[in-house]
Amino acid sequence: MRYLIAGFAAIATLPPTGGALLAEKILSKVSAAEIRREAEVGKITSIRKYELKNKRWDKDAVMQVRITSQPNSKKQFEILSMEAEGLQKKVFLKLLEAEAEGSHESESALTPDNYDFEVVGKEVWNGRECLVLELKPKRNSKYLIVGKAWVDINENAIVRIDGKTARNVSFWIGKPQVTQEFRKVNDIWVSSANRSVSDVKLMGRTELVIDFVDYEIVRRSSVAAVGVGVGF
Protein backbone atom coordinates (compact mmCIF):
# COMPACT_ATOMS: atom_id res chain seq x y z
CA MET A 1 0.00 0.00 0.00
CA ARG A 2 1.10 3.57 -0.77
CA TYR A 3 0.59 6.14 1.98
CA LEU A 4 1.21 9.87 1.85
CA ILE A 5 4.29 10.43 3.99
CA ALA A 6 5.49 14.01 4.15
CA GLY A 7 5.67 17.13 6.29
CA PHE A 8 3.12 19.85 6.88
CA ALA A 9 2.75 23.05 8.95
CA ALA A 10 3.52 22.83 12.68
CA ILE A 11 0.56 21.50 14.67
CA ALA A 12 2.01 21.22 18.17
CA THR A 13 -0.34 23.90 19.52
CA LEU A 14 -3.53 22.32 18.22
CA PRO A 15 -6.11 21.03 20.72
CA PRO A 16 -6.08 17.30 21.59
CA THR A 17 -9.13 16.64 19.42
CA GLY A 18 -10.31 18.60 16.42
CA GLY A 19 -12.74 16.42 14.53
CA ALA A 20 -13.04 15.71 10.85
CA LEU A 21 -12.46 19.22 9.49
CA LEU A 22 -9.09 19.56 11.22
CA ALA A 23 -8.03 16.11 10.01
CA GLU A 24 -8.91 16.97 6.40
CA LYS A 25 -6.84 20.16 6.61
CA ILE A 26 -3.89 18.21 7.97
CA LEU A 27 -4.09 15.59 5.22
CA SER A 28 -4.40 18.32 2.57
CA LYS A 29 -1.11 19.81 3.78
CA VAL A 30 0.45 16.33 3.93
CA SER A 31 -0.50 15.74 0.31
CA ALA A 32 0.88 19.09 -0.86
CA ALA A 33 4.14 18.53 1.02
CA GLU A 34 4.55 15.06 -0.49
CA ILE A 35 4.20 16.44 -3.99
CA ARG A 36 6.92 18.99 -3.27
CA ARG A 37 9.24 16.36 -1.83
CA GLU A 38 8.69 13.87 -4.63
CA ALA A 39 9.65 16.59 -7.11
CA GLU A 40 13.12 16.63 -5.53
CA VAL A 41 13.71 12.87 -5.69
CA GLY A 42 15.41 11.38 -8.73
CA LYS A 43 15.91 7.80 -7.54
CA ILE A 44 15.46 5.71 -4.39
CA THR A 45 17.21 2.39 -3.83
CA SER A 46 16.68 0.19 -0.79
CA ILE A 47 17.02 -3.38 0.46
CA ARG A 48 13.98 -5.16 1.83
CA LYS A 49 14.01 -8.22 4.02
CA TYR A 50 10.81 -10.29 3.87
CA GLU A 51 10.05 -12.89 6.55
CA LEU A 52 7.05 -15.22 6.42
CA LYS A 53 6.38 -16.99 9.72
CA ASN A 54 4.14 -19.85 10.77
CA LYS A 55 4.68 -22.27 13.67
CA ARG A 56 3.69 -25.22 11.49
CA TRP A 57 6.71 -24.75 9.24
CA ASP A 58 10.10 -26.19 10.05
CA LYS A 59 11.66 -22.78 9.44
CA ASP A 60 10.63 -19.29 8.43
CA ALA A 61 10.77 -18.23 4.80
CA VAL A 62 13.18 -15.33 4.12
CA MET A 63 13.79 -13.21 1.04
CA GLN A 64 15.99 -10.17 0.39
CA VAL A 65 15.25 -7.85 -2.51
CA ARG A 66 16.90 -4.73 -3.90
CA ILE A 67 14.26 -2.24 -5.07
CA THR A 68 14.90 0.79 -7.25
CA SER A 69 12.26 3.39 -8.02
CA GLN A 70 12.23 6.55 -10.13
CA PRO A 71 9.43 9.02 -10.85
CA ASN A 72 7.06 7.95 -13.63
CA SER A 73 8.78 4.57 -13.96
CA LYS A 74 7.92 1.10 -12.74
CA LYS A 75 9.83 -0.15 -9.73
CA GLN A 76 12.67 -2.54 -10.46
CA PHE A 77 13.08 -5.63 -8.28
CA GLU A 78 16.21 -7.73 -7.94
CA ILE A 79 15.93 -10.80 -5.73
CA LEU A 80 19.21 -11.07 -3.85
CA SER A 81 18.39 -14.26 -1.94
CA MET A 82 15.43 -16.50 -1.14
CA GLU A 83 15.03 -19.29 1.37
CA ALA A 84 11.51 -20.52 0.66
CA GLU A 85 9.73 -23.60 -0.64
CA GLY A 86 6.41 -24.36 -2.27
CA LEU A 87 3.66 -22.12 -0.94
CA GLN A 88 6.17 -19.78 0.73
CA LYS A 89 7.88 -19.06 -2.59
CA LYS A 90 4.53 -18.48 -4.30
CA VAL A 91 3.57 -15.93 -1.64
CA PHE A 92 6.83 -14.02 -2.06
CA LEU A 93 6.59 -13.92 -5.85
CA LYS A 94 2.95 -12.83 -5.67
CA LEU A 95 3.90 -9.95 -3.36
CA LEU A 96 6.54 -8.70 -5.77
CA GLU A 97 4.23 -9.11 -8.75
CA ALA A 98 1.49 -7.05 -7.08
CA GLU A 99 3.86 -4.26 -6.10
CA ALA A 100 5.53 -4.15 -9.51
CA GLU A 101 2.09 -3.78 -11.10
CA GLY A 102 1.26 -0.88 -8.78
CA SER A 103 -2.33 -0.81 -10.04
CA HIS A 104 -3.90 -0.32 -6.61
CA GLU A 105 -1.82 2.63 -5.37
CA SER A 106 -4.57 5.19 -5.88
CA GLU A 107 -7.10 2.84 -4.26
CA SER A 108 -5.04 2.59 -1.07
CA ALA A 109 -3.71 6.15 -0.76
CA LEU A 110 -4.42 8.03 2.45
CA THR A 111 -6.60 10.69 0.80
CA PRO A 112 -10.12 12.13 1.23
CA ASP A 113 -11.15 10.17 -1.87
CA ASN A 114 -10.62 6.95 0.09
CA TYR A 115 -11.16 7.91 3.73
CA ASP A 116 -13.03 10.02 6.22
CA PHE A 117 -10.64 11.22 8.92
CA GLU A 118 -10.97 12.52 12.45
CA VAL A 119 -8.41 13.76 14.98
CA VAL A 120 -9.16 11.72 18.10
CA GLY A 121 -6.36 12.65 20.51
CA LYS A 122 -2.67 12.87 21.32
CA GLU A 123 -0.28 10.06 22.25
CA VAL A 124 3.43 9.54 22.74
CA TRP A 125 4.60 6.77 20.43
CA ASN A 126 8.19 5.57 20.30
CA GLY A 127 9.25 8.74 22.11
CA ARG A 128 7.42 10.99 19.64
CA GLU A 129 4.58 13.39 20.47
CA CYS A 130 1.81 12.50 18.03
CA LEU A 131 -1.67 13.50 17.01
CA VAL A 132 -3.82 10.43 16.35
CA LEU A 133 -6.13 10.32 13.32
CA GLU A 134 -8.93 7.80 13.02
CA LEU A 135 -9.17 6.23 9.55
CA LYS A 136 -12.66 5.48 8.23
CA PRO A 137 -12.71 3.92 4.74
CA LYS A 138 -15.35 5.28 2.40
CA ARG A 139 -15.87 1.87 0.81
CA ASN A 140 -15.50 -1.77 1.70
CA SER A 141 -12.10 -2.51 0.13
CA LYS A 142 -9.27 -4.88 0.97
CA TYR A 143 -6.85 -2.05 0.07
CA LEU A 144 -8.13 0.28 2.81
CA ILE A 145 -7.49 0.21 6.56
CA VAL A 146 -9.93 0.62 9.43
CA GLY A 147 -7.68 1.99 12.16
CA LYS A 148 -5.47 4.90 13.13
CA ALA A 149 -2.54 7.00 11.91
CA TRP A 150 0.01 8.65 14.23
CA VAL A 151 1.35 12.07 13.20
CA ASP A 152 4.60 13.34 14.76
CA ILE A 153 3.83 16.94 15.80
CA ASN A 154 7.50 17.94 15.88
CA GLU A 155 8.68 16.27 12.66
CA ASN A 156 5.33 16.95 10.96
CA ALA A 157 5.07 13.49 9.43
CA ILE A 158 2.99 10.33 9.66
CA VAL A 159 5.10 7.82 11.56
CA ARG A 160 2.75 4.88 12.08
CA ILE A 161 -0.47 3.35 10.74
CA ASP A 162 -2.26 0.44 12.41
CA GLY A 163 -5.53 -1.35 11.75
CA LYS A 164 -7.36 -4.09 9.86
CA THR A 165 -8.33 -4.22 6.21
CA ALA A 166 -11.86 -3.00 5.56
CA ARG A 167 -12.73 -6.21 3.72
CA ASN A 168 -11.47 -9.78 3.70
CA VAL A 169 -8.33 -10.10 1.60
CA SER A 170 -9.58 -13.55 0.59
CA PHE A 171 -11.67 -16.43 1.92
CA TRP A 172 -8.49 -18.01 3.29
CA ILE A 173 -6.86 -14.95 4.85
CA GLY A 174 -9.74 -12.87 6.23
CA LYS A 175 -8.92 -9.38 7.52
CA PRO A 176 -5.25 -9.18 8.54
CA GLN A 177 -3.97 -6.82 11.23
CA VAL A 178 -1.61 -4.41 9.46
CA THR A 179 1.03 -2.11 10.96
CA GLN A 180 3.25 0.26 8.98
CA GLU A 181 6.08 2.35 10.44
CA PHE A 182 8.10 5.13 8.84
CA ARG A 183 11.40 6.93 9.37
CA LYS A 184 13.31 9.84 7.92
CA VAL A 185 16.33 9.42 5.64
CA ASN A 186 17.92 12.84 5.28
CA ASP A 187 14.71 14.89 5.00
CA ILE A 188 12.63 12.28 3.16
CA TRP A 189 10.16 10.09 5.04
CA VAL A 190 10.22 6.46 3.91
CA SER A 191 8.87 3.08 5.01
CA SER A 192 10.73 1.48 7.90
CA ALA A 193 8.79 -1.72 8.60
CA ASN A 194 5.52 -3.39 7.64
CA ARG A 195 3.87 -6.20 9.58
CA SER A 196 0.68 -8.13 8.90
CA VAL A 197 -0.82 -10.96 10.93
CA SER A 198 -3.61 -13.27 9.73
CA ASP A 199 -5.38 -16.37 10.96
CA VAL A 200 -5.16 -18.34 7.72
CA LYS A 201 -7.67 -21.15 7.30
CA LEU A 202 -6.06 -24.63 7.68
CA MET A 203 -2.69 -23.00 8.55
CA GLY A 204 -3.32 -20.89 11.63
CA ARG A 205 -1.56 -17.69 12.60
CA THR A 206 0.73 -16.47 9.82
CA GLU A 207 2.89 -13.37 10.02
CA LEU A 208 4.59 -11.37 7.28
CA VAL A 209 7.30 -8.91 8.32
CA ILE A 210 9.05 -6.55 5.90
CA ASP A 211 12.06 -4.49 7.03
CA PHE A 212 13.29 -1.65 4.81
CA VAL A 213 17.03 -0.94 5.14
CA ASP A 214 20.03 0.57 3.35
CA TYR A 215 18.22 3.44 1.67
CA GLU A 216 20.03 5.48 -0.95
CA ILE A 217 18.19 8.59 -2.09
CA VAL A 218 19.46 10.55 -5.07
CA ARG A 219 18.20 14.07 -5.67
CA ARG A 220 16.73 15.00 -9.03
CA SER A 221 19.55 17.48 -9.63
CA SER A 222 22.18 14.78 -8.96
CA VAL A 223 20.49 12.33 -11.32
CA ALA A 224 20.26 14.93 -14.08
CA ALA A 225 23.91 15.83 -13.60
CA VAL A 226 25.01 12.33 -14.57
CA GLY A 227 22.65 12.21 -17.55
CA VAL A 228 20.02 9.81 -16.22
CA GLY A 229 16.50 10.69 -17.34
CA VAL A 230 13.92 10.72 -14.57
CA GLY A 231 10.79 11.05 -16.69
CA PHE A 232 9.33 14.17 -15.18
- The single-letter DSSP state of residue 74 is -
In a domain, 74, yes or no: no
Instruction: Flag whether pLDDT at 5 surpasses 50.
Output: no
Which of 200, 155, 150, 157 is CA-nearest to residue 177?
Answer: 200
In a domain, 33, yes or no: yes
In a domain, 124, yes or no: yes
pLDDT tens-place string over residues 78-91: 999 999 988 889 88
Instruction: Flag whether pLDDT at 15 surpasses 50.
Output: no
In a domain, 76, yes or no: no
Instruction: Flag whether pLDDT at 223 surpasses 70.
Output: no
Where does residue 156 fall: left (phi above 0), alpha (psi -120 to 50 degrees), or beta otherwise?
Answer: left
How many CB atoms are located within 10 Å of the residue 201 CB? 11
Query: Out of 33-37, 70-74, 127-131, 172-176, which region has the weakest mean confidence (pLDDT)?
Result: 33-37
Query: What pLDDT does 102 receive?
Result: 64
Q: What is the dihedral of CA 146, 150, 156, 157, to 10 degrees?
A: -60
Q: What is the pLDDT averaged over residues 188-208? A: 88
Instruction: Flag whether pLDDT at 227 surpasses 80.
Output: no
Instruction: Flag whether pLDDT at 131 surpasses 50.
Output: yes
In a domain, 48, yes or no: no
In a domain, 94, yes or no: no
What's the total number of domains in the chain? 1
CA atoms lying within 13 Å on the CB side of residue 219: 7
Query: What pLDDT does 216 receive?
Result: 92
Query: What pLDDT does 19 receive?
Result: 67
The amino acid that residue 109 corresponds to is A
In which element (H, E) is residue 135 found?
A: strand 128-137
In a domain, 32, yes or no: yes
**Which range, 16-25, 57-66, 219-228, is most confident?**
57-66
**Structural domain range at position 208:** 19-42+110-221
In a domain, 81, yes or no: no
CB-based contacts of 174, cutoff 8 Å, min separation 6: 168, 198, 199, 200, 201
The band of 221, judged by pLDDT with boundaries at 50, 70 and 90, is low
Query: What pLDDT does 12 receive?
Result: 30
In which element (H, E) is residue 125 found?
A: strand 115-125
Query: What pLDDT does 73 receive?
Result: 79
pLDDT tens-place string over residues 153-176: 777 788 999 999 998 887 667 888
Q: What is the pLDDT averaged over residues 17-23? A: 67
